[in-house]
Every structure is written in C-alpha cells, then in structure tokens.
Structure 1
C-alpha cells in the first residue's frame, strides 16, 4: 500500500450538502484519494490494478485511460477522432464508450501540456482528455455515455449482464473554479461536484498544476437507485482535464466476509474432530 496517496480524505454527505456538491435527494458518497499508477498516468483508482490494465473483466471494473495500450479487449481499436495532431501518439478513446461534445465545446485527447490550452494532470505523462469552450466564458461540455457499454455487458461476461454502474472514479487535473462533473441516469441529473466545491473541501488552489489538493482522484459510490449511465464534464474556460476513469458494476463478485470464512473452517474442524473420535 506504499503507493497509495497518503492524504486520502473521506467527505461525509453532510459536508457535501453544506457545499452543495450533492443534491438533497442524493445518497452518493464522495471520497478523495487514489494510488500511484504504474503506467506513469499519475493517479488511478485503488479498486483496480495500478497498471490500469483490466485482465479479468468478470471482476466488474473497467477503465478509460485514453491510451490504446489499455484498451479492452486488449488491442481493440478505438476512436481517434479527437486526437491532437502531433501530440497524441498512442492515444484513443477506447470503445465501447460514446463521446459527444456540445456544439459550444471542444474535446481533445493528447499528451503533455501546452500553455493556454491544456495542462496534463500532475504526474501524468500519458494520454488524457480535456474539454474547452469554443467561446471562453460560455459553458461547454463533453458527455461520456455508457449506455451501449451497459447494454452489451453480457457479451463481455454473461454474469455481468443487467449490471448498473454504482462506482465512478476519475483523476481530475489542475481543478479550476469553472470546471464541474455531472452524473446522469436516463437523462436525469443524480449528482454533481464542482471545482469550487472540491477546492474548498481540499484547500486547493484553482488551476494549480502540481499541488495534490488541486490534482486529485475522485471516488463516487452511488446507491443502486442512483446508478448512472452518463458522465458530463463541464468547463467554461481553459481547460477541464481528466484521466483514468474507472467504473464499477453492481453485479461484480462480492467476497465472503472473513468471519464467515473462519466460521467455515471452524465447522470443518468440528466435522473432522467428530470423525476422528469414532
């Protein structure tokens, strides 16, 4: 666990409500903190392997790194329509996600930072995505839609068919006051978190490209009723950067509690003891 970011912070629902980060009907639980990704992409979720490679889809976790190297299935071709010319070697939006920017906005996938265009999240030397408005000061957004992905889960693993998404994690880079993330289920907004809210909770500085308080991994656990199918990244300035989007499914395997395992061993011992007494 030495590669886990030490200042991981849990935020209670009451605190989020005080900042307006979650609407009154929401029971989503938001925490901050991830682990150092071994593929040089900064931070990723603690719930998957640090390599960002999904080797066992039956576990019910999937990641979008915007890198062709971590596509699932391995080697699958993805969408390169949003790659930045001469700055996106090895980059792609991995299928089967659907990405659609608003008419007022732009979404790009690239490596590296460019002044007045985009800043890679702290420690991220791999591909990442960002959205900027066509007209600065005007809200624009990019939607990352999981509808088709969810509809075809049975083709990936029959045991996952009918799953919903109840966990979302993402690496939010150089958080700005004009950035926000919104989460929708069947076109209904179920939760959101804005730049000012995160910065206030983390004591971060807007736009800081290196401070861990302004470059953080966000984890959101949704109730079954609030499980979402579309992520919206909103920005009215330069820029809204993000990477390593991880989703977890409701029908992923749940390990048996350790107490039950010990109980099973105890019963086995009793059985063997009786057997040897005969």
Structure 2
C-alpha cells in the first residue's frame, strides 16, 4: 500500500492517492515502496566511486560519537533491515540520542533509502540550507512503528520535491537504539519521470516492500 504526504515547512498533511500539491510553496512528496534504481557504488560529478558501507561514509557525519556501519543483527545494538545481508548504517547504536547529517552538496530533488525496523523514535528532517523542509517520524511511515524486524517492519521510502526546491541535507535522528538504513539513492528526475509519477499517483502505485538483491548504493543520477 502506498502512503503519500505533502509537507510545507514543518506541517504534515495526508494526501489522497492521485493528489499532487496544488500549492505554490515547496512541497515534499513521500511514497513508500518501490525499488531504488542503479547499481552499487557512488556516482558523482567526479565519476563513479565504489562504496559498500563497510567503513566511514564521507557524506554522513554524526553530531556526537560515530555512526555504526555493520551487518546482521546484534540484540540491544542494531537490527538489519529485513532481507538485508550487506552492511548498513545505524544511528543511535553507539550513543543516544544521536543525529547524523547526510550532506547533498548543491541539492537534489529526490532522496530514497531503505528504512529498517522502523521505530516511532526515528526521525528524518530534510533541509534546504538552514531552512527545514519538513520532519518525518517513524510513526508516519508505519503504523505501528514498533521496530518489528519482519517483512512488514521495514520500508523503502522516497522523498521527492519535483523541482519545487532542493534538498541539500538530511538529518537522521534516534533518541533510542536505533535508526537503521541502507541503499541511499538521490537524483533529479527527468521530465518523463515526473509524468510517469503523475500516472502512478493516479492509480498505478508501488506495491509491496523493497527486497534488496545487491550491495548498498549511494547514487546521484
């Protein structure tokens, strides 16, 4: 089932399927489900760089302590997103509360990632410079957001501005253990992609949860 939200500032409004923002203000659209495109590794302006979350991820910095990069599940520390057998990032495993900022340079229109064992105390805030574009909690992604480690406890989430503004950074915060995520993907959609998404909102939609089959990837397209 697809969940769709539009955010203006810190306000959150539930939208019906098929509705696109009719506001002149910047809005962020959230859909749940689908599969990230692209192959493993980082693709940036300087060319492809392979990255598998096996060590420090340069664009991701913690406000205190360090982000945990690990694989598998360790009770009381972190839980691998469902179906994820590769390395992933975990905020709040080494110290709580903890935040980690993902820097996106000049900005992107799209940010997607695999959100593992979603908890109500997991929070994502998106920024354009120092201006907050919106805050998402785990409870807005799943109900209940109770850290369930089975298939229905993880979700691939997609945040898209469709050119209304640029997302220059994303802050992942967890007040308890932990906020696990993987498969970070960013991009600026082509006009044809926008048209396809309109059709999707009209009724095609994404179905099911993202099942990972490859390595972690951070991709600018």
TM-score normalised to structure 1 length: 0.57
Q: Which residue of 2 aligns with 1:243?
A: 182
Partner of 1:215: 154
Q: Which consecutive residues of structure 1, in runs of 5 or more, have no partner in the other structure?
A: 1-6, 36-44, 54-68, 84-90, 151-163, 259-278
Alignment of 1:32-71 (within 5 A): 32-35=32-35, 45=36, 48=37, 52-53=38-39, 70-71=41-42
Name the CA shift for 1:188/1:194 in 2 (closer, same or farther; >3 Å): same
Question: RMSD across aligned C-alpha pairs, in angstroms?
Answer: 3.2
Q: How does 1:10-21 map to 2 (within 5 A)?
A: 10-13=3-6, 16-17=12-13
Change (3 A) 1:186 1:133: same
SS in 2 for 1:146: strand
- Alpha-carbon distance between aligned partners in 2 of 1:166 and 1:247, rounded to the nearest angstrom: 8
- The C-alpha deviation readout for 1:131-190, integer Å capped at 9, x for no partner, is 116654xx320001021xx4xxxxxxxxxxxxx411111110001111011111112111
Q: List aligned pairs for 1:131-142, cutoff 5 A.
A: 131-132=91-92, 136=96, 139-142=97-100
- Alignment check: 8 A CA contact 1:133 1:236 kept: no
Which residue of structure 2 aligns with residue 102 of structure 1? 63
- Aligned length in residues: 182
TM-score (norm. length: structure 2): 0.70
Taking CA–CA contacts closer than 8 Å with sequence separation of 6 or more, which of the two structures ends up with the larger relative contact order? 2
Contact in 2 for aligned 1:165/1:247 (Cα 8 Å): yes
Q: How far apart, in 2, do the equivalents of 1:204 and 1:33 lie?
A: 17
Whole-angstrom distance in 1 between the partners of 2:171 and 2:135: 9
| Structure 1 position 77, deviation (Å) | 6.3
253 and 26 in structure 1: CA distance in 2 versus 1, 3 angstrom threshold: closer
The structure with the greater share of residues assigned to helix is 1
- 1:156 match: none
Shift of 1:227: 1.5
Question: SS of the counterpart of 2:13?
Answer: helix
Q: Structure 2: give runs of 5+ residues left out of the alignment.
A: 16-22, 197-221
Work out whether residues 26 and 191 of structure 1, in 8 Å CA contact, stay in contact via their aligned partners in 2: no
